[in-house]
Amino acid sequence: MRVLIVEDEPQLARHLATALEGAGHQPCIAHDGEEALTVALGGDFDLLVLDVNLPRLGGFEILKRVRAAHLTVRAIMLTARGEVEDRVRGLQLGADDYLAKPFAMAELLARIEALGRRFPAEPQKVLRVGDLSLDLETREALRGGRCIEFSAREFALLKLLMREPGRVFSRTELCERVWEREHEYDTKLVEVFIGRLRRKIDEESDAPLIHTVRHAGYKIEAS
Amino acid sequence: MSFSLSLRSKIVLLAVASSIVVLVVGAAGTWLMLRHVAVRELDARLNTDAKELFRDFDNFTGGPRDQRAEFTERFIPLALRERWIELAGRHGELLYRSESLGDTTLAGAPPGFSNREIDGQPVRVGVFESEEMRLYIAADLGEIRRFERNLGMAFLLALPVVGLSLALTGRWLAHRALQPIDEVTRAAGQITAARLDLRLPEPAARDEIHRLVAVLNATFERLERSFEQAVRFSADASHQLKTPLSVLRVGLDALLHSPKCDGAEKDAVNELLDQVRRLTSLTEDLLLLARVDAGRLELRRVPCDLRHVFDECLDDARTIAEGRGITLEASLPARIEAEADPGRVTIILQNLLENAVKYNRAGGRLCLCVKVTPPWLEVIVGNSGEPIAPERRAHIFERFSRGLSDERIAGTGLGLSLARELARAHGGELELSESADDWIGFTLRLPVVAR
């Protein structure tokens, strides 16, 4: 995908570009709003990664003008203000997604990946990894005919892991995405909840699904 | 009671009361003066009568001096026959007494003029002396008394009428005088955090109200400026703080995934990532408080079942509590319906539950009790542990205040302050409800329906 990164902080823009390249995209950087608009209107981009707070021309304004020019480019807004009104405004102006700063690079890449699919995946009701299936409506899981129930946090954690089987989630990212707010016992919480999931899912099985990746984090994968 | 009276009523009451006092005093004075004048006139007439009589006696040869026995009514001029007259000789012997006096005698009357009664009728008696005799003349006081009564009555009747009209005039005047103040009050009421750009209308007259309005407007001006600064701060700080955090976050992520980073280094980078997350969270709390202070906290209140929020928070609390041997008891209804911002309620609950674990003793108890009794949703979070000293209770909701002065207990000291602000933003309240021996309880009240 050809991606235009519009971000006034050079270091952040560089990191984003490197990571996108690593994921097989062709990134291009613009540092201020006016430059970004010219480049966006002139070039053939698949995706804009737009900072909201930009010198000379704000992210919302760029999005509005791009949409006014009937460009069908997709857009992800990055903002320092995780405020409701910003989110609503961005989505109203035709942003496809929205990410509050600071964010995990893995999350940004995952969201770009999701936008990149030509046909967005049907919202799944049941997630499957190996012989484990998780019903998102009843919040119950089945493994080898055995029914497993989960507490609120266990379910949220398992759902996150099962959405992207095989991807390694760092503890920090799990904390961010399951607990959203910082806990004073973050690390311990993640460990305890992973432990519980293991007991419930893997204890009576020869083929464990939840794996610890040393120095990196956790993943769920059928071996 | 006087404290609850409006300024307008006070002015009217004072005006009416003081006017009535002045009126009563004035009327009484007038009444006394008129009465005095009337009596003086009567005395003058009695004096004239006496002189006339004495002159008649002098001119009348063969008068009472010579023939006492013959002294009768005919010596008295016609004009004086309606008076009561008594004549006494030099030694007090009775020379003449009007028939109308009957047995009553005027002889006891003191010299000069005095009042007395004849057959129950008030009279004025004058005593006059010549060389040979003493003359008592009495005149009817009835007329003067009637005049006094009528005048008094007229005053009494006029008083309520005058009082009422004074009250009405006073009311009107007070209303007119206070109307600008009412307008100032109304206009000031419309100036809220949302409309700080409004100003009070300046009255045309350059009077006291004009000065008040000028001072108030200057105050609003300063308020608006500092408010704008606070708003700008929360927006600027948000950007300024989060940009370096983003660079850190993304940079550490990149480092973590670079092939040059080996196992031990990865652990270190993960630690750093955790610290960045911590710093981000602290920043977010501070910015949230800044927004609360600037009156710009946006709540996304939706009708929802908060049970899920409670379950998640309890799930965490139970996990942490178990690790420290704390027993958690929770009693909550199957559904907790309310119009609330679930994200903000999560923050409140998380802070309360974290505190309840943090300030608990090992092997202690933690209780969460939820009751929905419209219009309130009541949440009580209690835990065993050292009670909060009375002198510290007032400060626990202050920022960067720590419940116990125990440095071993981690925390930013923002939790309770933030929780309270968020509860208040919902139109609710968070209070320390219990601090007894080995038990601390917080009560959170949130309105079920948004107002």
Q: Least CB-CB distance to A172: which of B246, B274, B315?
A: B274
pLDDT of residue A67: 85
Any idea which of A144-153, A195-204, B73-82, B252-261 has the lowest mean pLDDT? B73-82
For residues B98 and B86, is the Cβ–Cβ distance under 8 A?
yes
Q: Could you report how far apart the first and last alpha carbons of chain A are, in Å? A: 31
For residue B356, give how far its alpha carbon lies from the nearest alpha carbon of chain A (Å): 13
* A44 Cα distance to chain centroid: 24
Closest residue in chain B to residue A192, using alpha carbons only: B319
Where, residue-wise, is CATH 1.10.10.10 in chain A? 126-220
For residues B425 and B345, is the Cβ–Cβ distance under 8 A?
no
- Provide the residue count of chain A: 223
Block residue for tokens 């020869």: A206
CATH architecture of A126-220: Orthogonal Bundle (1.10)
For residues B141 and B83, is the Cβ–Cβ distance under 8 A?
no
Chain B residues whose beta carbon lies within 8 Å of the beta carbon of residue A175? 274, 277
Q: Per the structure block, which two tokens stand in for B399?
A: 């920022």
For residue B273, give how far its alpha carbon lies from the nearest alpha carbon of chain A (Å): 7
Chain A residues whose beta carbon lies within 8 Å of the beta carbon of residue B264? 215
Q: Is the pLDDT of residue A117 over 70?
A: no
Q: Per the structure block, which two tokens stand in for A97?
A: 């997604």
pLDDT tens, B176-227?
888 888 888 888 888 876 677 888 888 777 788 888 888 988 988 998 888 8
Closest residue in chain B to residue A83, using alpha carbons only: B298
A to B CB pairs, distance under 8 Å: 124
Long-range contacts of B27-30 (CB under 8 A, 24+ apart): B27/B155, B27/B158, B27/B159, B30/B151, B30/B155
Give the separation between CA B302 and CA B210, rounded to whole angstroms.
Answer: 46
**ipTM surpassing 0.90, yes or no?**
no
For residue B341, give how far its alpha carbon lies from the nearest alpha carbon of chain A (Å): 11
Interval A124-130 mean pLDDT: 86
pLDDT of residue A5: 92
Sign of CA dihedral B343, B347, B353, B358: positive
Q: Could you report how far apart the first and last alpha carbons of chain B are, in Å? A: 33
Interval B430-434 mean pLDDT: 91
Q: Do A182 and B358 touch (CB under 8 A)?
A: no
In Å, the largest CA–CA distance within chain B is 164
What's the pLDDT band for B32 if we cut at 50, 70, 90?
Answer: very high
Give the separation between CA A132 and CA A165, rounded to whole angstroms.
Answer: 12
Q: Do B312 and A153 touch (CB under 8 A)?
A: yes
Block residue for tokens 């919480």: A189
pLDDT tens, B109-118?
888 899 888 8
Higher model confidence: residue B178 or residue B307?
B307
pLDDT tens, A137-195?
888 888 888 888 888 889 999 999 998 888 888 888 888 888 877 666 667 788 889 99
* A68 Cα distance to chain centroid: 28
Most confident residue range from A116-120, B378-382, B393-397 = B378-382
Average pLDDT, chain B: 84
pLDDT tens, B400-430?
765 555 545 556 678 888 999 999 999 999 9
- pLDDT cut 90: percent of chain B above it: 22
Give the separation between CA B358 and CA B415, rounded to whole angstroms.
Answer: 12
Q: Is the pLDDT of residue A122 over 70?
A: no
What's the pLDDT band for B380 if we cut at 50, 70, 90?
Answer: very high
Radius of gyration of chain B (CA): 49
What's the pLDDT band for B340 if we cut at 50, 70, 90?
Answer: very high
Q: Is the pLDDT of residue B28 over 60?
A: yes
Q: Do B243 and A9 touch (CB under 8 A)?
A: yes
Among residues A35, A34, A38, A31, the alpha carbon closest in space to that of A16 is found at: A31
Q: Least CB-CB distance to A104: which of B253, B270, B278?
A: B253
Among residues B36, B26, B40, the alpha carbon closest in space to that of B148 is found at: B36
- pLDDT cut 90: percent of chain A above it: 16
For residues B233 and B220, is the Cβ–Cβ distance under 8 A?
no
CATH architecture of A2-118: 3-Layer(aba) Sandwich (3.40)
For residues A49 and A73, is the Cβ–Cβ distance under 8 A?
no
Most confident residue range from A116-130, B63-77, B243-257 = B243-257
Where, residue-wise, is CATH 3.40.50.2300 in chain A? 2-118
Torsion of CA A76, A78, A82, A86, to 10 degrees: -60
Any idea which of B121-130, B263-272, B393-402, B432-441 has the lowest mean pLDDT? B393-402
Average pLDDT, chain A: 84
Chain B residues whose beta carbon lies within 8 Å of the beta carbon of residue A152? 308, 311-312, 315
Chain B residues whose beta carbon lies within 8 Å of the beta carbon of residue A193? 319
Q: Do A12 and B250 touch (CB under 8 A)?
A: yes
- Provide the residue count of chain B: 451
Q: Do A189 and B243 touch (CB under 8 A)?
A: no
Give the separation between CA B91 and CA B93, rounded to whole angstroms.
Answer: 6
Buried b (16+ CB within 10 A) or exposed e, B296-335: bbebebeebebbebbbbbbbbbbbbbeeeebebeeebeee
